[in-house]
Amino acid sequence: MEVGLFLTKVWALYFVLISLAFLINKKGLKKLMSIAMDDGFLMMSGVVSLLIGVLHVVAYNVWEPDVRGLITLFGWMALAKGISRLAWPEHSKKMIKSMSKGGSMQVWLVVALAIGLYLGYIAWF
């Protein structure tokens, strides 16, 4: 399987599964948002995001104005998230705090679900 198609399927499944899980389990989402403010969690999630981003960008870095560019963007976003969480944890905490207010996280989860469904459609159909 070509790397781009593989990553499209991975991101599709990730977005669909994570968004559905937290749209269904709102208590779990609330708990995750409070845990995400912990310095240890923030650092560990930064390391994981950095690793995912580096692996993705090294394996696949195709900037085309289609789904391939979108998949590449996700890799770079994971890399940037990892760097920002490690280098500027206080800024990351502010972002997490602002996202957990007023139901905006629910909106982001619906957007993530739509992206995942779109990617799944591209990858499998």
Taking only the tens place, the pLDDT of each residue in 14-64 is 999 999 999 999 999 989 988 998 999 999 999 999 999 999 999 999 999
Number of structural domains found in the chain: 1
Name the residue range of residue 40's domain.
Answer: 3-124
Contact 72, 62 (CB under 8 A): yes
Look up the pTM and report it: 0.91
CA dihedral angle for residue 28, residue 34, residue 39, residue 42, rounded to 10 degrees? 50
